[in-house]
Amino acid sequence: MPVTSSRPVCILGLGLIGGSLLRRLAGERPAFGYNRSTATVNAAVADGYDASSDLPQTLTRAAETDAVIVLATPVTVLGPIVDAVVEHAPDCLLTDVVSVKEQVARIVAHHHPDARYVGGHPMAGTAHSGWAATDPSLFENAMWMVTTHDDTEADDWLAVADIARAAGSYVVPAAEDAHDRAAAAISHNPHVTAAVTAAVGAGESRLPLRLAAGSFRDGTRVAGTAPELQRAMLEANSVALLNTLSETIDRLVAARDRLRDHGDVAALIEAGHRARTAYEEVAAGEVEPIVGVTIGDDGWAQELRRQAHLARVWVG
Amino acid sequence: MPVTSSRPVCILGLGLIGGSLLRRLAGERPAFGYNRSTATVNAAVADGYDASSDLPQTLTRAAETDAVIVLATPVTVLGPIVDAVVEHAPDCLLTDVVSVKEQVARIVAHHHPDARYVGGHPMAGTAHSGWAATDPSLFENAMWMVTTHDDTEADDWLAVADIARAAGSYVVPAAEDAHDRAAAAISHNPHVTAAVTAAVGAGESRLPLRLAAGSFRDGTRVAGTAPELQRAMLEANSVALLNTLSETIDRLVAARDRLRDHGDVAALIEAGHRARTAYEEVAAGEVEPIVGVTIGDDGWAQELRRQAHLARVWVG
C-alpha cells in the first residue's frame, strides 16, 4: 500500500483533538468521524463535516476504504471502541491521539491482539474542550510523538507519521515508555503544579486574587482545564507521574529547608532557570530535522529514536 | 499640600519598574531619576529622560521641588539609599515599588525614623529586566498595592495613590502583612513552583523539552527571570513564603499519596480548578470600585482595607 495523502482517515471521537484533526484533514483527503453524542455530531455536520453517531456504520466504511482509524476518545472508553473495531474493521491500521502510550498500547493489545497499531500523541491543546473549541490550526508546528519500536512496520509508521505531517506537525519518534516519562515531566507534572499553585494562591479573601499578575495567571492557566479531562490524562500515566511528583516534592522540601535554615532559595531558582533556558533554546531554535535515515532500512527505528533524543524531528 | 498630578516625582533606581515609571510619568508631570550605573543613566538620557548618577544632587533637587521620592532599587541596597534621603531630602514624602512591604517598612523606619512613608507595590513585571526592558505601558490596568494603616496620613496616601493612578493602575489598599501574605501566595510561590516544574521537566535528554507544549511553556515562564532578581524578591519575603511553600508541599504529598494508594488526583485537581475559576471571575469581571469612602474621614483606612478584601479597588 503506497502512503499517500489521499488515504482516508476515520476519527473516533470529535472532542478538541479529534475534532480539530477532522477540521484540518477534511478537504485534503477523505476524512470522516464518529462521536457518541448526537449534539456533537450535529454541530460537526452543521459546520460542513462528515460525522456520524453510528459506530458500526462508521467502522464498516473505514474497512471498505482502508482508512487509517484514529482513536480520539478518552482513554476510559477505549476498550469498547477497540472491541467495535475488531468486529467491523479488524484489518484497518490503528493509531491514536490519547496522551499516555503504554496504557493505550496495553488496551489495544488486550482487545485486539492482531491489531496493526502505531501510537501517536500530538503535543497540543488548550484549556477548552469539545467540538466548540476545535481549531484546524491546533497542530500547526506542534510536536506529534509517533511510537517507534524496533518491530514497528515501516509502511504503517509512515502512514501515521503522514497524518501528523498533514496536520501541520513535526514527528517525534519515541518508544512508549520514553514518551510517557517525558509526558509526565513536561505535561502532567505541570498540571499538578498549576493546580497546587492555584489552590495555595486563593487564600484568605479575594484580595490575593485581585493582586495576582502574570506569574499566577500563566502558572495556573492549565488548572482551568476541565477536572475530568485532567484526571483522565494524569491518572492514566500514574506510574511516571508518581516519579515526577516525588521528585517535585523532594526538590521543594530541600528548598523549604534551605530557606528556613539559611534564608536562600538559590539552588532551586538556579536549577529552574537553567532548565527554562534550555527549553527556550530548544523552542526558539530552528527545528532540526532527523537526517540520514530511510524508513524501513536496517535499524531505522533505533536511529530515529537516537536522533529524537537530540531534539530532532522527522519531517519526511 | 494639594494633591495634583503636577507634583514632581523623583525615582531612585531605573530598572524595569523604576525606569518604566519614569517613562510613563515624564511629560505628565516633572519626573526625574537616579541610577547608580552610568550606562543606565546614559541610556535613559539618550531616550530623552531626565536621569542622573549623582544621588546627592538628585535628592537635593527632590527636596527643593518637594518631589515624592519613589524607592525603586533592589531591597538589598535600600539602607544606604534611605541614609542619603535622610541627609539630602529628609522632609520628602517617600514611597517605594519594592515587592515586600514589611521588610521595606522596617528598613525605612530603621534608617529614617521620622520618614513620611507610604509603601507601594505595582503588581506588574516581565521576565526581563533593566532599562532596555522598560515600557511606559507596564502598569496599565495593573493592581498597585498602597499601604493603608490606621495612622497613615490622608494627604500622603493620596499623593502615592495618585502616582499609581497616573501610571494607569488601580489602587489596592492593604496593610503590610496582608500584602506580603498575598504576594507570597500569588507571586512568590508561583516562582517557586515554576522553578521546580522546569527543573523536573528537563529530564534525561532533550526529548522532553522538544515535546513540551503549552502547559510547560506557560507554567515555567517566570523561571526565566534572572535568578538574582527572583532570589531578592523571594528571600525578602521568606516568612510568608515559608508558609505558602509548606502548604504547597503538604498538598502535593497528600496528592502523591492518594495517587499511589488510590490512583486518583481528584482532590488537588478539583481544588486547583476551583481556585483558577475564582481567579478568572475576578480577572475577567468588571473592576469594582471602592465606594462611599472619603479619604481622611473617620475610619477611612479601615474601610478601604475592608472593601479591598472584597477585590474592590480605589479609583479616586
Residues in chain A: 316
The confidence band for A127, taking pLDDT boundaries of 50, 70 and 90, is: low
Helix axes A189-201, B189-201, angle to 10 degrees: 170
Phi, psi of B67 (to 5 degrees): -70, 150
Is the Cβ pair B219, A218 closer than 8 Å?
A: yes
User: B179: closest CA among B2, B42, B309?
Assistant: B309
Asked if A32 and A11 touch (Cβ cutoff 8 Å), the reply is yes
In the sheet with A120-122, reading across from the earlier edge strand, the strands are A120-122, A143-147, A170-174
Considering only the beta carbons, identify the residue of A186, A216, A235 that sits closest to B208.
Answer: A186
* Segment B13-46, tens digit of pLDDT: 999 999 999 999 998 999 999 999 999 999 999 9
Q: Is the pLDDT of residue A78 over 50?
A: yes
Phi, psi values for residue A199, rounded to 5°: -65, -40
Q: What is the 3-state secondary structure (H, E, C) of chain B?
A: CCCCCCCCEEEECCCHHHHHHHHHHECCECEEEECCCHHHHHHHHHCCCCEECCHHHHHHHHHHHCCEEEECCCHHHHHHHHHHHHHHCCCCEEEECCCCHHHHHHHHHHHCCCCEECCEEECCCCCCCCHHHCCCCCCCCCEEEEECCCCCCHHHHHHHHHHHHHCCCEEEEECHHHHHHHHHHHHHHHHHHHHHHHHHHCCCCCHHHHHCCHHHHHHCHHHHCCHHHHHHHHHHCHHHHHHHHHHHHHHHHHHHHHHHHHCCCHHHHHHHHHHHHHHHHHHHCCCCECCCCCCCCCCHHHHHHHHHCCCCEECC
For A246, other C-beta atoms within 10 Å of its C-beta total: 15
Q: Which domains are present in chain A? A: 9-174+288-308 (3.40.50.720), 180-284 (1.10.3660.10)
Low-confidence ranges of chain B (pLDDT < 50): 1-4
- Give the pLDDT confidence score for residue B3 in this predicted structure: 42
Report the pLDDT value the prediction gives residue B1, as an integer from 0 to 100: 35
Total Cβ atoms within 10 A of residue B140: 12
Answer for the pair A65, A8: CB distance below 8 angstroms, yes or no: yes
- C-alpha grid cell, residue A199: 489552590
pLDDT for the residue A232: 87
Q: Are A199 and B272 in contact (CB under 8 A)?
A: yes
d(CA B51, CA B34): 6
| Torsion sign over Cα B95, B97, B101, B104 | negative
Q: Inter-chain contact A279–B198, Cβ cutoff 8 Å? A: yes
Residue of A nearest to B141 (CA): A213
Model pLDDT for residues B230-262, shown as the tens digit of each residue:
998 899 899 999 999 999 999 999 999 999 999
Distance from CA of A194 to the nearest CA of B (A): 7
Check whether A144 has a pLDDT greater than 50.
yes
pLDDT band of A124, cuts 50, 70, 90? confident
> Cβ contact (<8 Å) for A209 and B186?
yes
| Residue position matching grid coordinates 482545564 | A225
What are the C-alpha distances in Å from A102 to residues A18, A176, B124? 20, 6, 43
CA-based nearest distance B63→chain A, Å: 33
**Pairwise CA distance, residues B32 & B53, whole Å:** 11
Please give the Cα distance from B278 to B206 (Å, whole number).
36
Compute the count of residue pairs across chains A and B with CB atoms less than 8 Å apart.
Answer: 384
The sign one gets for the Cα dihedral B37, B42, B48, B52 is positive
Q: What whole-number distance in Å separates Cα of residue A107 and Cα of residue B237?
A: 50
Query: In this predicted model, what pLDDT tens digit does every residue of A170-211 receive, in sequence order?
Result: 999 999 999 999 999 999 999 999 999 999 998 768 899 998
Across residues A84-90, what is the average pLDDT?
Answer: 98
Q: Do B204 and A211 touch (CB under 8 A)?
A: no
Write the DSSP string, A132-152. Answer: GG--TTTTTT-EEEEE--TT-
Question: Which pLDDT band, with edges at 50, 70 and 90, does A128 fall under?
Answer: confident
**DSSP β-bridge partners for residue A95:** A70
Indicate whether this complex's ipTM tops 0.85.
no
Q: Annotate B8-22 with b (16+ C-beta within 10 A) or e (fewer).
A: bbbbbbbbbbbbbbb
Residue A202 and residue B217 in contact, taking contact as beta carbons nearer than 8 Å: no
User: Residue B129 has what pLDDT?
Assistant: 81
Q: Are B70 and B97 in contact (CB under 8 A)?
A: yes
Residues A225-232 have a mean pLDDT of 92
Residues of B in contact with A274 (CB under 8 A): 199, 202
The phi, psi pair for A235, rounded to 5°, reads -70, -25
Closest residue in chain B to residue A173, using alpha carbons only? B207
Provide the greatest CA pair distance for chain A. 70
Cβ-in-10-Å burial (0-12, 13-18, 19+) of B198 comes to buried
Judged against a pLDDT cut of 70, whether residue A282 lies above it is answered with yes
Nearest alpha-carbon partner for B166 in B13, B312, B23, B2: B23
Length of chain B: 316
Query: Which of A129, A19, A191, A198 minimizes the C-alpha distance to B212?
Result: A191
Q: 3-state class of A238 per DSSP?
A: helix
**Cα separation, A171 vs A163, whole angstroms:** 10
Q: What's residue B127's pLDDT?
A: 65
Q: Which of A125, A253, A278 sits opposite B209 (nearest CB)?
A: A278
| Best residue of B218, B269, B282 to probe chain A, by most A CBs closer than 10 Å | B269
Cα separation of B189 and B182, whole Å? Answer: 10
Q: What is the 3-state secondary structure (H, E, C) of B218-284?
A: HHCHHHHCCHHHHHHHHHHCHHHHHHHHHHHHHHHHHHHHHHHHHCCCHHHHHHHHHHHHHHHHHHH
Q: Which residue of A has its CA nearest to B211?
A: A143
Q: Which pLDDT value is given to residue A206? A: 87
Minimal CA separation from B261 to chain A, in Å: 11
Q: Do A309 and B206 touch (CB under 8 A)?
A: yes
